[in-house]
A and B are shown apart, each in its own frame.
Chain A
Amino acid sequence: AQSVTQLDSHVSVSEGTPVLLRCNYSSSYSPSLFWYVQHPNKGLQLLLKYTSAATLVKGINGFEAEFKKSETSFHLTKPSAHMSDAAEYFCVVSERGTYKYIFGTGTRLKVLA
């Protein structure tokens, strides 16, 4: 069975410092992995997705994530936080060939001036 765990419900960083949002997954087969961002009262926007072509995935707005099969992790990083990055972030896992997308419970990122 698939599952995804976001290890921190809240993360606070200062503007200009690195961001690390942690995600661990469990999947029996080759997983699809995604990171989405959600600003208050808005829909979800795709940041990046793992497609098995490369373990280091670059996304929009300077975010990237590294797929580590041995650690079953897909952590999201950004070298320098911006105020506009303050939002909720969701890690999602899906097995290829299935309809089902499993969402983590989200990490709320706060960026301090």
Chain B
Amino acid sequence: DGGITQSPKYLFRKEGQNVTLSCEQNLNHDAMYWYRQDPGQGLRLIYYSQIVNDFQKGDIAEGYSVSREKKESFPLTVTSAQKNPTAFYLCASSRLTGSSYNEQFFGPGTRLTVL
């Protein structure tokens, strides 16, 4: 089955630690995205990538970093510089936008909690 996988499902971070969230897709999509979800705030874009070895900051990139070494993979690192990282993190992918209306496909999410 084609889809997006995220791991781990739950993650706990101590103060001052960096943690990395995994996102893999086998949909052959070019574009991948990371969102943060907080109660009552909808989804906010952290980073997105349209092609391997290239990515752009979204609306709330401070304290996060990403890499895109393979088309299938788009890991997100939450650094110690992110002061309030407790949230639900969602990875998504889509075909590259263009003349068609491309929906996003979402992974199951990772819930990160700071201890």
Contacts and interface: CB of A to CB of B under 8 A. Distances in A.
User: Bound pair: A and B?
Assistant: yes
A42 B107 CA distance: 8
A44 B106 contact: yes
Contact of B97 (A41, A94, A103): A94
Contacts of B48: 99
A73 B48 CA distance: 28
Interface in B9-63: 31, 33, 40-45, 48, 50, 56
A32 B101 contact: yes
Given A46-B103, A49-B101, A50-B101, A9 B40 contact: yes
Interface residues of B, number: 29
Given A32-B101, A94-B97, A100 B45 contact: yes
Most buried by A among B6, B33, B43: B43
Interface in B65-103: 88, 90, 92, 97-99, 101-103
A90 B107 contact: no
A99 B33 CA distance: 9
A45 interface: yes
Interface residues of A, number: 26
Given A105-B40, A105-B42, A42 B108 contact: yes
A41 B109 contact: yes
Contacts of A2: none
Given A43-B90, A103-B43, A106-B42, A96 B50 contact: no
A-B residue pairs, 7 tightest by C-beta = A43-B106, A103-B42, A32-B101, A44-B106, A103-B43, A105-B42, A43-B108
7 contacts: A41-B111, A43-B106, A43-B108, A45-B106, A49-B103, A96-B98, A104-B42
Interface of A: 9, 32, 34, 36, 41-46, 49-52, 90, 94, 96-101, 103-106
Interface of B: 4, 6, 31, 33, 40-45, 48, 50, 56, 88, 90, 92, 97-99, 101-109, 111
